[in-house]
A and B are shown apart, each in its own frame.
Chain A
Amino acid sequence: MNILIIGNSAAGTAAVEAIRTRDRQSSIVQLTDELHPLYSRCLLSYYLAGTISRERLQYREMDFHERMRVQLHTGKRAVELDTNRQHVVCDDGSDYLFDKLLIATGSSAKLPGNIPAGIQGVCVLRTLDDVETIREHVRYARCAVVLGGGLIGMKAACALRECGLETKVVVRSKRVLSQMIDDGASQIIGRRLLENRIEVLTETDISEIRSQDHRLVGVETDQGQVIPCELLILAKGVHPNTELIQDTDIRKRQGIETDPYMQTSHENIFAAGDVAEAFDITTEEHAINALWTCAVQQGRIAGLNIIGEQEAYDGAVGMNSLDICNSPLISYGITSPKDGSRYQMLVYEQPANNVYKKIVLKDHRIKGIILLGRIDNAGVLLSLIQRKADVSAFEHELLDDRFNFAKLVGYGDASVLEQYRQW
């Protein structure tokens, strides 16, 4: 069988590993539009901050592709897909036939329309090349502005601060990490940022870029403030790289639609990772969860089904883990529901100690969690979300720091005992 995988990050790599656990025979060709063989995108901010060396970005052995018997073709962007002939063409004219295809093309940084291209010092943080460009500018820059207060924006801001730059974050919403956490947790994070001398300008947008000789010298906000800076990081989120399927009959909404086997509407074509829409356990809708962990799980499932193993995906839970200004933060699912009346919230907070915990319940089932400052046993709570467990018997104990695996045993949850014996 000829397997073609487009994409060489979390989902593509997980698919390769899954395929090779059971199938050493099939030919695997993997394409990437980047020039680097394999690195972890999530580690880029650590590399930018100088916490780790460039070598440590490599998250598998140097001979990974050789050992996995994968022909990796770098610097090739797949631009044409013929679903009938099962044929892919790349930008350099090379072409590939496949029996099974995995589309794991990932996502790209969203670029705000009002920011002109080609100005030195205006960057995104997405690929290794992006980081190398940012590092060039860090050498001479004194001030940096980060546009966007999401996960990438926060990681970028903390990394730049670590590099010694004066750093400001511009966010359109009322608070940072508004997609990931609620107001209470966000306030604590906001204060931690300030203590680390990262200033956050909320309900603000950048209206204009100031440059001299195509080099950034400052930004102007819609509040009329002018911030001199030599570096601007655009962190306004990502959009899925679905260009390849645009002229095909493969169904998509925002991302490529998939079934529980990560199969698209075409039986020999699979999709996984940031480009794919999969069932979300907490929202009970199909959505993109552009997250490392989800991409790995989906890539694994796609890989197994490509070789006919028939393993279904339980569904995604949006989850993030972040260590921000020395405060560990983990969140899952729906943390600040829009229609609050249908949900029950449990909150425990110690703002002075930077501790904030919240559980969001609906019909006695956990739909979302925020853990700030105290994250041990977080995964035990996640398992309750994933199993859609009725937690009414121990609801009052969920926020206790001592809530652990043994609690579930104590409440007679037979499935966890099975887990203990079998796993």
Chain B
Amino acid sequence: MAVLLRIKEENHGGPMFLLSLPFTAPPGRSEPLTPPRTEAQAVLNRDRAAATDEALLAWSAAGDRLAFDQLSLRHLPRLYQLAHRITGDAAAAEDVAQEAMLRVWQAAARFDPERAKFGTWLHRIATNLAIDRTRQARHTAPAPDDTLPAPGPSPEQQAATRQQRDRVVAALQEMPARQRAALALFYDQEMEGAQAAAALSVSTRGLEGLLRRARRFLAGKLED
């Protein structure tokens, strides 16, 4: 049987269960009144910050929501970056990153580390969500984005950098979403070709084709 260990309670919106620990009843007793102290203590004392992604996911699948929080903390910035590159919109990128993590939670118990790398699986979920989001909002013009990093030091350099950045962003918006996703996985996420191809559900040659077209398009736009 499972015992829910209530760690934290919100004032509004009901209780939040951050840990659900599987405990078995001791012999001669049908139900344990409290979880075994040593087992609960071991779970609470887990070094989540040092754990691998796969370990955190396995703990999450067993009900350790603190482990999942650690996983979110670790991957949300990269997911946001990926989604922002594909959607070109800060609010949409937030939605996609959050939704990707929630999908990971739902499917945590089904993830098989022998069949796929966690990073590839996570990026595939986020990429698909972001591409879907872009298709839904195809006719909506992207909102001006203020989340870009601050440009260079001098005013001239700032202006030049800003101009260059605007041209890149404008060129990316004209590019098909899958090409943007290929660029994001290859450059922003610095994934290997095979891993990026797996995240996009294409062959390595397919990824090279997407990147080739994207680079050619981008170079043409920046040279205009």
A binds B: no
